[in-house]
Amino acid sequence: MNMNIGLIKGDGIGPEVVNEAVKVLEAVGKKYGHTFQYEDILMGGCSIDATGEPLTDEAVAVAKTKDAILQGSIGGNTQTSPWYKLPPNKRPEAGLLKIRKELGLFANLRPAYLYPELKEACPLKESVAEKGFDMMIMRELTGGLYFGERYTKEVEGKTVAVDTLVYSEDEIRRIAIKGFDIAMKRRKKVTLVDKANVLDSSRLWRETMIRLSKEYPEVELNHLYVDNCAMQLVRNPKQFDVIVTSNIFGDILSDEASMISGSIGMLASASLNSTKLGMYEPIHGSAPDIAGQGIANPLATILSVAMMLRYSLDESQAADAIEAAVAEVLKTTRTPDIWTEGMKKVSTTEMGDAVCALI
């Protein structure tokens, strides 16, 4: 199979980690008989420097022609970089919001998995960590509180700020379908996280999910209020398989889940639309503090490539091979962020090479 991949290398450590992920993609391509064509797409600070815009319309048009997009990370030091003196819609992150909107990427998938080899980095009690966990958080990405009408006004001499939280049944249904479909390929359990005791929009989420669940008789659907879910994630994370939730709840819970996984340099993510096209990226940022030093952990981006193979390119065998190689490499080899006594300490490129060698 021949596939066209857009590469958004971005800023900071972005190019360093994307280069390693491409190396790994080439290695699985060679093993399973796939070829990949790559085209660089400018987004973020590098695009501002080159074009004055964080993402041009031309770049969006190129992205739309691809089978999948691999993104490093964008942005700079928000205190010192001149990019952050620009108006908000001209800053690096505006490129990210634009591409999500233009490609209709409404479903954000964030797996959180505790590698047995990284248990010591897990901040949870040993008795909880030793049981391990393996969950997929599905966050609605293009609706809800972050996209509703907002304004600030003066009311009777006092300043009042208003944010609105809107969801339509269709918006809920399309991410719910993705959630159930993914659960069918995993342990067949979906947890809807909401605040249905308070919010009307949450009650619509519940009704819609319950209705849809009739089409997935094999999947167990249960419900949790968001405050309870935040507690359960640290008390008993093993109970979760697929969590489906709204934009703001998913934003917060997926960060909590990444924290209990031990290292920000290990976690991948995918953002999908209703076609096969998706954008794949590590959850970490551009880490300007370590950019250019050759010490960034490329595994999150390498695992993003595995997600790309699984969800956009239907190549689960190649995805499994990458995930297995990452699990194996961790037994002996670590970048400085996850290094422990007795392990071989390696650079970004050496880690990429080590994963390739195991593939």
Residue numbers of the site for ligand NAD (CB under 6 A)?
Answer: 13, 17, 73-76, 78, 93, 96, 264-265, 281, 284-290, 296-297, 300, 337
Query: Residue 134: beta bridge partners?
Result: 113
Output the smallest distance, CB 215 to ligand NAD, in A. Answer: 33
Nearer to ligand NAD, 75 or 250 (CB): 75
**Alpha-carbon span 55 to 76, nearest angstrom:** 15
Q: Is 57 a catalytic residue?
A: no
For residues 2 and 35, give the distance between their C-alpha atoms in angstroms, rounded to a whole number. 5
Catalytic residue list contains 146: yes
Rank residues 71 and 245 by Cβ distance to ligand NAD and give the closer one. 71
Task: Choose the catalytic residue: 32, 38, 146, 225.
Answer: 146
Q: How far is the CB of 351 from ligand NAD (least distance, A)?
A: 10
- Closer by beta carbon to ligand NAD, 73 or else 312: 73
Nearest distance, CB of residue 17 and ligand NAD, angstroms = 6
CA 264 to chain centre: 11
Rama region for 287: left / alpha / beta (φ>0; ψ in -120 to 50; rest) = left
Backbone angles phi, psi at 38, to 5 degrees: -120, 145
In sequence order, what are the residues at sequence separation of 6 or more whose Cβ sits closer than 8 angstroms to the Cβ of residue 282? 17, 72, 73, 265, 267, 268, 269, 300, 301, 303, 304
Whether the CB-CB separation of 56 and 25 falls below 8 Å is answered with no
Angle at 94 between CA 93 and CA 98, to 5 degrees: 120
* CB nearer ligand NAD, residue 190 or residue 264: 264
Q: Is 40 a catalytic residue?
A: no
Catalytic residue list contains 251? yes
Please identify, using beta-carbon distances, which residue of 234 and 290 lies nearer to ligand NAD: 290
Backbone angles phi, psi at 68, to 5 degrees: -165, 160
In the complex with ligand NAD, the residue whose CB is nearer, 29 or 76, is 76
Q: Which of 49, 57, 163, 255 is catalytic?
A: 255
Please state, in angstroms and rounded to a whole number, the distance separating the CA atoms of residues 105 and 268: 16
> CB of residue 314 vs ligand NAD: minimum separation in angstroms?
25
Catalytic residue among 251, 280, 311, 337: 251
Minimum distance from CB of 15 to ligand NAD (Å)? 12
Considering 57, 163, 200, 227, which one is annotated as catalytic?
A: 227
Say how many residues make up the chain: 359
Task: Name the token pair of 195.
Answer: 């605040």
Whole-number minimum distance, CB 193 to ligand NAD, in Å? 22
Beta-strand runs (E) in the chain: 2-10, 35-40, 68-73, 107-113, 134-140, 150-155, 158-163, 189-194, 220-225, 242-245, 268-272, 278-282, 333-334, 344-345
Please say if 255 is a catalytic residue. Answer: yes
Q: Which of 90, 101, 119, 195 is catalytic?
A: 195
Residues with catalytic function: 146, 195, 227, 251, 255
